[in-house]
Amino acid sequence: MIKLKDIAERMNVSVGTVSKALRHSHEISEEMTDRIIRCANEMGYVANSSAISLKTNKSYNIGVVFNDKTHAGLGHDYFSIMLNSMRDELTLQGYDFTFITHMLGDRNISYLNHARYRRCDGIIVVTADFNDPEIVELVKAEIPVVTIDHIFNNRTTIQSDNEQGLVEIVKYVFSKGHRKIAFIHGEDTTVTSHRLGGFYKTCEELGIEVDQRFIKEALYHYPQKAGLMTREILALEDRPTCIIYPDDYSYMGGATEIEKHGLKIPEDISVVGYDGIFLSRILRPVLTSYKQNSVEIGKVAVQKLLAQIEHPKSFVRKPVMISGCLQKGQTVKDIN
Amino acid sequence: MIKLKDIAERMNVSVGTVSKALRHSHEISEEMTDRIIRCANEMGYVANSSAISLKTNKSYNIGVVFNDKTHAGLGHDYFSIMLNSMRDELTLQGYDFTFITHMLGDRNISYLNHARYRRCDGIIVVTADFNDPEIVELVKAEIPVVTIDHIFNNRTTIQSDNEQGLVEIVKYVFSKGHRKIAFIHGEDTTVTSHRLGGFYKTCEELGIEVDQRFIKEALYHYPQKAGLMTREILALEDRPTCIIYPDDYSYMGGATEIEKHGLKIPEDISVVGYDGIFLSRILRPVLTSYKQNSVEIGKVAVQKLLAQIEHPKSFVRKPVMISGCLQKGQTVKDIN
DNA sequence: TTGTAGGCGTTATCAC
DNA sequence: GTGATAACGCCTACAA
C-alpha cells in the first residue's frame, strides 16, 4: 500500500507537503499540487481511513441500527427501500455506514459502545425496540442521532405521516360510500397510535360511528395474524363493507381468508392496504394502498444527520414529517 | 473518550500493561488483569478501532459489493435474506461490514480503492456486473474475495445450485404428467446458464422434446416482462401445460396475464416459480417454487471468507454449491 | 511480571 | 511555499 511517505520520497518533498497538496490546500503552489496529485494517481495511492480517523477524530462512517429480530426488517419493502435511499445519500456525501449491533464476536457490546468502537460520526435508528434500555442509552448519548418513526426527547426524528395516511384512506373510502369501516391495525407502537389517531379523528369528522368490533389488533408484516382477525370480522353478523389492513403483506393474509369465505374483492368487500409495495401493483386486483415515501424518509434522515454533524451550531432540531400518497387501485368498490 | 492512558494513570501502571491485560495476555498476572478490566469497565473504556486497525493492519471490517442498480437488489428476498444471514455470521465472528460503492462523495472511486480506503480485510461480491472492469480489477486484486453465484478464476465462489433447481423442477412436473413444459428464464448470466443446463439435461434424460417456442427470455424480478412472455406463449396454438418462471415475482406478472386469458391456475395451466419468497406461501394458490437456501449461502460465504483471511495458508479454494429445496404448492396440476 | 519506546499513516502547528 | 515535528490511540518487541 502506497502511503504519503512514498510519494514524498519520489517527489523529493516532505510528507506534509504531499498531505496538503492532496487536500488542495492553498498553502501549496498550484504547480506542485498538480504534480503531486498526478504522481499519487500514478502510484495508486489510496488514503488510509483509519489513520485519518485517528488523527482527525472523524470517521465518515455512520452507524445504522436496524434490528429486525421481528417479522419485519430487511425483507420489508418499506425498510429495504429506505435503507437503499440512505445508502445512496450517504455515498453522495462521502460517508459509509456500519450496522450497529449489540453483539460483536463472543462479547456483548451495547449499541452505543459498538458505535464508539467504530468512531461513528452519527447514528440513524431505523428500527429498534425503543423500550430497550440500550437504545435509550444510545439516544441519550452525546453522539448525533436521528430516529425514524419514533420521537425521542430532543432528538431529530423523521416520521412517515401515519396520521395523514389514515386520514386520506378513510376519506377516500368514505367518498366511495363506505360507512362501516373495519380497521385491523398493527401492534402498539408510535406508528400505530398515529394511525389510530388519524382513523378516529377522520371518522368523527365525517360522522362515522365506529363499531368497536371492527377494530382489531394484528401484527405488522404478519399475514397469518391478519387472516385471523379478518376471520373474526367476517364472523360478525353485521359485516363492514371495507377493511383497512396494517400493511400490504397483512392484506395478502386477509385476502386468503376472504376468499375462503367465498367473498370476492371488491365486489363483496372492499380492502385497503398500507405501504404500496412493489407487488401490490402487480397482483390483481391492484391493491388500493397508502404508499409511504420511504425514499424521501431515508434521504432526509441522512441529510438531517449530516447537517447536525457538520454544522452542529446552526442545526435546528425539529421533527420532520414526510407524507406519502394514496395509490388508488381496484380494491375499493364504489357503493354510492 | 476514555483511552488506555487514562486507565493506566488511574491504576498507576503503564499503558502497555493495560493493553496486555485487556487482551488477556498471559504476561500479566491474573489479579492485575482482573483489576484493570474492572477499572476499564467502570470508566467506560471502549477501544478505538481506527487506532487498532492502523497499528495491526487489520480492520475487522468486510467490504460488501451489492450493486442493485437493476430491478433486483435489496428489495428481493433472495438477497435481503442472504445479507441478513451474512450480517449475523459476521457479527458472530466479530466483524462489521461496509457497502463498497464506486462513488464516494464527489469523487469517483473504484470498488477496489474504496475497499482499500476502509482497509477491508476481505470482500464479498453479492451482486455486481461481472463484466465491469472495476469488478474484474477487484476480484483480481490481492485482497481475499468471495463471490456469490459467479465463478471467477481462482476465487472462492458460493453458488446456489441452479442446475439442481431446474433438475428437480422438471422432474417434479414430469412426475405430474407434464410433457409440454415452457421455461421463461432470466437474462443471460451464470445463473441462467446453469438453469438452462439443468433444464435441457433433464428434459433429455426424461425423453421430453423441447419445443423452442416454449423457451423465452425475460428479466429477473421483472413481472411485466414475464407477463409479456407469458402472453406470447399463450398465443401459441399448441400451448404448454406448464410454465416455469425465472422467479416468484415474475410469476406474479405471468399470473395476471394468465388470468386475463380466462385461464385458471392450476386447472387450465400449471406454473412453477423460483425462490420461494415469503409471499409465495401466503397467496393462493400456494406457489410451487424452488427455494434457494440463501441463509446458508450467506453464512457459508462469510465462513469461507474469514477462513481465507485468518488461515490463508491452510485455506483450500474450492467452489461451494448450496442446494435448495422444492416447495410444493398448489400450482402444478396432476394430469396423469 | 511490568515498563519503555518506537512506530502504524495522517494532520496540523510551527519554523524557515 | 515548503519542511520539520509532534501528536492521534494502540500494539509489541525488548528491556528491566
Q: B243 or B130: which carries more pLDDT confidence?
A: B243
pLDDT at B315 over 60: yes
Distance in angstroms (rounded) separating the CA atoms of residues A120 and A97: 8
- Beta-carbon contacts of B149 under 8 Å, excluding residues fewer than 6 positions away, are B157, B158, B159, B160, B162, B190, B191
pLDDT in tens, A118-149: 999 999 999 888 889 999 999 999 999 999 99
- The distance (Å) linking the CA of B105 with the C1' of C10 is 20
Amino acid B109: pLDDT = 94
Helix axes B4-11, B15-22, angle to 10 degrees: 110
Nearest to B283 among A101, A116, A252 (CB): A252
Distance in angstroms (rounded) separating the CA atoms of residues B31 and B33: 5
Residue A99 at interface with chain B, using a CB cutoff of 8 Å? yes
Amino acid A64: pLDDT = 97
- Which helix (H) or strand (E) covers residue B19, if one does? helix B15-22
Amino acid A313: pLDDT = 86
Amino acid A69: pLDDT = 63
pLDDT at B191 over 70: yes
Amino acid A70: pLDDT = 58
Distance in angstroms (rounded) separating the CA atoms of residues A213 and A236: 8
Distance from CA of A204 to the nearest CA of B (A): 35
The pTM for the full model equals: 0.94
pLDDT band at B75 (very low <50, low <70, confident <90, very high): confident
Q: Tell me what percent of the residues of chain B surpass a pLDDT of 90.
A: 85
* Mean pLDDT value of segment B59-80: 81
Amino acid B106: pLDDT = 85
Task: List beta partners, residue B96.
Answer: B61
Residue A101 at interface with chain B, using a CB cutoff of 8 Å? yes
- B102 CA to centre of own chain: 20
What is the Cβ-side half-sphere exposure of residue B136, based on CA atoms within 13 angstroms?
3
- The distance (Å) linking the CA of A18 with the C1' of D14 is 34
pLDDT in tens, B264-313: 999 999 999 999 998 999 999 999 999 999 999 999 999 999 999 999 88
Q: Tell me what percent of the residues of chain B surpass a pLDDT of 70.
A: 98
Please name the residue ranges forming H helices in chain B: 4-11, 15-22, 30-43, 49-56, 77-92, 111-117, 133-140, 162-175, 190-206, 223-234, 248-260, 278-282, 294-310
Report, as ranges of residue numbers, the positions in chain A whose pLDDT lies below 50. 71
Nearest to B256 among A96, A113, A282 (CB): A282
- Nucleotide in closest CA–C1' contact with A1: C9
